[in-house]
Amino acid sequence: MGSMEGLKAESNGGAQAMNGGGEMTTTRRGRSSASSALPLEVGTKVMCRWRDQKMHPVKVIERRKVPHGGASDYEYYVHYTEFNRRLDEWVKLEQLDLDTMENDVDEKVDDKATSLKMTRHQKRKIDETHVEPGHEELDAASLREHEEFTKVKNIAKIELGRYEIDTWYFSPFPSEYNDTPKLFFCEFCLSFMKRKEQLQRHMKKCDLKHPPGDEIYRSGTLSMFEVDGKKNKVYGQNLCYLAKLFLDHKTLYYDVDLFLFYVLCECDDRGCHIVGYFSKEKHSEESYNLACILTLPPYQRKGYGKFLISFSYELSKKEGKVGTPERPLSDLGLLSYRGYWTRVLLEILKKHKGNISIKELSDMTAIKTDDILSTLQALDLIQYRKGQHVICADPKVLDRHLKAAGRGGLEVDVSKLIWTPYKDQEDEELRRGQRKSRACRSSARRSQQQ
């Protein structure tokens, strides 16, 4: 049942089940019997009115008593089975159509609910995101454990500067902040408080007007600050707390000493306001030039994500190294990077006269040869002849792929980048800590959830 008509049939009082012969049957549920099932059990599936005022299928993830309510007065935390987990939320009973309630639903019914097609605009709006580490490295048991631990958002909203932002995911804030309806962040030092009055008192004392650290780039109203996690530990940890609210499978590292944070800001006469950031290890034996990346929701779809990716490669060029993002990438992360790699590589191929090798492309772009090969192979622009890879660059084909890749976003003006690669007197000690951190990374993801 993949049609909206099927959903309407259910919402008009029908619940489907499998009969003994394996056929779908519809049973009607009266108001009195539906009401007698209250409070709803965790796992119940029902139709719910969403913010678009339309009914959508949901699954009850958790429930809680309404303060000062009756014995059966509950709110329900629901997952919209059509949408990403970031849209999970607490809803009131009146938003639910109890006539569509299903307790023991056959898997096929669930499959049909989740297979409903959204419009292109809905999907683009809901799935617009940033690059983040995926969950491909988690086995089924670890993934279930992760989802159980993070199934309910502990912070519903945050206030950051002039924006009030709905959060997307659970973030492991200290326990005293759990179930706080809204957190108030200082947009400069990223300290967070429970009440607006606390933030107002803090802002009178906070002397920062930009992220702590060195401003390494300024072009127009855009600035980039390099923040050393070792020198600014609290800021680094607070940035991780903030980022986790919008990144599902990001592992939160309390040991931020090993990382540099590159914080992008929009600047005006009031100060420098955080737009997004990426982090990178100070020393990466795997040639990672980016560990985590986020564009905050109010600034998405403005080209900042592409700018951050491009900036990470400009730093790699300054270091005289090739770079690649830390794996694994989410599906959307891979798409974002594949779009960047496609634009950069095809622009060179379009302008270049004569033959060019994969190694030469890597030297010019700081993109790892494996990433170049996988990108060109995905575009069917490379062949293997006589023991070597040969690039086939027909101008019309290049133009077609460039058009499909879309715009490149904001450009990094390299002449405005004033930066020298990180060096530390305790390099060897830091590398030992880095190796230990990498060895423990998989177990860290699991222990965070316990």
Residues taking part in catalysis = 326
Structure-token pair, residue 398: 């290049």
Cα–Cα dist 396/328, whole Å: 33
Position 343: which residue type?
R
Cα–Cα dist 402/351, whole Å: 13
Compute how many other C-beta atoms are within 10 angstroms of the C-beta atom of residue 402.
16
Between β-strands 388-391 and 324-325, what pairing exists: parallel, antiparallel or unpaired? unpaired
Compute how many other C-beta atoms are within 10 angstroms of the C-beta atom of residue 187.
24
Query: How many angstroms separate the Cα of 9 from the Cα of each of 15, 24, 27?
Result: 9, 13, 11
Residue 433 exposed, middle or buried by CB count within 10 Å (0-12, 13-18, 19+): middle
**Residue 332 contacts residue 309 (beta carbons within 8 Å):** no
**Residue 261 contacts residue 290 (beta carbons within 8 Å):** no
Q: For residue 166, list its beta bridge partners.
A: 157
Compute how many other C-beta atoms are within 10 angstroms of the C-beta atom of residue 115.
11
Question: Dihedral sign, CA of 143, 41, 170, 434?
Answer: negative
**Residue 67 contacts residue 75 (beta carbons within 8 Å):** no
**Residue 310 contacts residue 263 (beta carbons within 8 Å):** no
